[in-house]
Amino acid sequence: MNLFKSFVRSLATRLAIEQPSAPGAQPGQPSLEEIVGDRRLIVVSNRGPVQYEKNPDGRIVAKTSAGGLATAMEPVLRACGGTWVCHGSGAADFEVADADGRTNLGQYAIRFVRIEDQLFNGFYNGFANGALWPLFHNAFSEPVFQAEEWRAYQEANRAFADSVLAEAGDDPCLVIVNDYHLMLLPRLLKESGKDIAIAMFWHIPWPGRRVLRICPNQDELYRGILGSDLVGFHAREHVVSFLETMDRSIEARVDVEQQTVSHCGHKTYVRDFPISIDVQEVAEGSIAGPWEEPFPDLVPILRDKILFLGVDRLDYTKGIPHRVSAFQRLLRMRPDLHGHAVLVQIASPSRFQINSYQKLATEVRERCDAVNREFGTDDWTPVHLVERNYDRSSLFRLYRRADVMLVTSLHDGMNLVCKEFLAAKTDDAGILVLSRFTGAADEFPEACLVNPFDLDGTARQLSAALDRGPEATKADIARMTAHLRDADVYHWVRSLLLGMKDVLARKRADVPTTK
């Protein structure tokens, strides 16, 4: 989407939010600006909402990020204003920015952090995604801990801290730190002695201390995160795991009832805030035009076929090979689907410099080929793998066309794709197949909940879901979308900010802790 359209849309959204009837707000409730109060809002994450790249003709173009974090945090800044501090990863980011690395998007500013390539490689491809990402997702790929990558991680976190502190100046600020790339940042900010309130939001699972104790740097990471005033997770289960980890792994006092951790005289509150999406944006996007327009290659393939759809970053936590194999077993069980069912897997290339991601791409291609070899005919190719990024609104149209949405993550903090699918299904027709190991499964008991490791079981459940008939599945989708409309991203941000307000009020009234 071009920046002008995005700006107009953000203005419209902001105006909508300020109405008493805005999503997530009850009449008489304070606006988001009132909740944030006099503090300046700074959001920090490794990846920002936009990267500036150069076309071969030298023109600079803005590219938006695929990924749940950007999808969820962007509406927050659109609504409240402030600054997004993120790594300047686009080739032209610093050409667009001023001498401080800042650029103004109208509704909010971006401040790019400069991290040279070798350091970034150690920090991002190394410690963050080669060690922490697999570690926190139950190690489906073995985490690799390297001393020099740990040093790069520390140095990159310090670079983010310098940038946030420069941005904050002497103003009282509210900083929202995002995710596992920046675990050391909260303490670095707290130690500056400035008036900075810190909320850390954790987008991935917190699996438990027995899994995490293999990390040689766990103490420093936990001390880092405990610089926050509030730590937010998607699910209650992650809150419980976090409290248990802090209780048993470092010198800290944990109050399970109050959900607090006291460490070195500082108290951190821990709460769950299930993240969500801008439901209205998806619903409107899904009917903005025919689905065929952005997907001309799929038109001759789909025609009147039953569309099974997968949309993910090409990541081993998303269970894409398992999904393709479950579909293969479904075809073995159900000859009546031959010639009539098509699986389209849209996979956004991700972290391709890491070996395990390259291996995954090869495995997914091989599994798709295997299904097509087993069942394909001259006029029917059962599986189509599309490895590319799309404009988000194009995806919303395809969700609407889908008959069965397949979300089979092996482990996922929340998963926003299933929520986008539900928001796009304004006609209520469709089936959501959802892994039990997503945060979203807690919110949608009406989905067809599966264990993606159980390929035969998943195929059987898929078959049964297809047989339930349109009336039953419509009723399920209607119940899920009704919940989603109440629990959208504005509800999430409102809860997070109100949670933070409550924490700061409790802290003002609190006696300092000793441990």
Smaller CB distance to ligand ADQ: residue 168 or 440? Answer: 440
- How many residues bind ligand ADQ (CB under 6 A)? The answer is 25
Q: State yes or no: residue 72 binds ligand ADQ (CB under 6 A).
A: yes
CB count within 10 Å of CB 244 equals: 16
Q: Cβ 391 to ligand ADQ, closest distance in Å?
A: 7
Among 421, 428, 415, smallest CA distance to 477 is for: 428
Please state the separation of Cα 503 from the chain's center in Å: 25
User: Which window, 10-18, 63-71, 357-365, 478-486, contacts ligand ADQ (CB under 6 A)?
Assistant: 63-71
What residues contact 460, with CB distance under 8 A and at least 6 apart? 333
Binding residues for ligand ADQ restricted to 402-431, rule: CB under 6 A:
412-417, 420
Binding residues for ligand ADQ restricted to 193-232, rule: CB under 6 A:
203-204
x/- letters, 24..53, toward ligand ADQ (CB under 6 A): ------------------------------
Q: Are strands 341-348 and 448-450 parallel, antiparallel or unpaired?
A: unpaired
Smaller CB distance to ligand ADQ: residue 23 or 101? Answer: 23
Smaller CB distance to ligand ADQ: residue 129 or 415? Answer: 415
Smaller CB distance to ligand ADQ: residue 90 or 101? Answer: 90
Residue 425 burial (10 A CB sphere; 0-12, 13-18, 19+): buried
Q: State yes or no: residue 488 binds ligand ADQ (CB under 6 A).
A: no
Among 455, 365, 359, smallest CA distance to 406 is for: 455
Query: Residue 419 is encoded by which pair of tokens?
Result: 């929520």
For residue 110, the one-letter residue type is: I
Smaller CB distance to ligand ADQ: residue 167 or 312? Answer: 312
Smaller CB distance to ligand ADQ: residue 262 or 415? Answer: 415
Binding residues for ligand ADQ restricted to 100-139, rule: CB under 6 A:
none
**For the chain, what is the total number of helices (H) and then of strands (E)?**
20, 18
Q: Cβ 185 to ligand ADQ, closest distance in Å?
A: 17
Q: State yes or no: residue 177 binds ligand ADQ (CB under 6 A).
A: no
Q: Cβ 258 to ligand ADQ, closest distance in Å?
A: 25
Rounded distance between C-alpha atoms, residue 507 and residue 515, angstroms: 16
Q: Which residue is nearest to ligand ADQ (CB)?
A: 68
Q: In which element (H, E) is residue 285 found?
A: helix 279-286
Residue-wise DSSP of 161-196: HHHHHHHHTTS-EEEEEESGGGTTHHHHHHTTTSSE
x/- letters, 243..282, toward ligand ADQ (CB under 6 A): --------------------------------x-------
Beta bridge partners of 389: none
x/- letters, 382..401, toward ligand ADQ (CB under 6 A): -------xx-x--x------
Smaller CB distance to ligand ADQ: residue 85 or 407? Answer: 407
Q: In which element (H, E) is residue 102 found?
A: strand 102-104
Rounded distance between C-alpha atoms, residue 77 and residue 165, angstroms: 19
Smaller CB distance to ligand ADQ: residue 72 or 402? Answer: 72
The residue written with tokens 């909402």 in the block is: 49
* Contacting positions for ligand ADQ (CB under 6 A): 66-69, 71-72, 203-204, 275, 311-313, 346, 348, 389-390, 392, 395, 412-417, 420
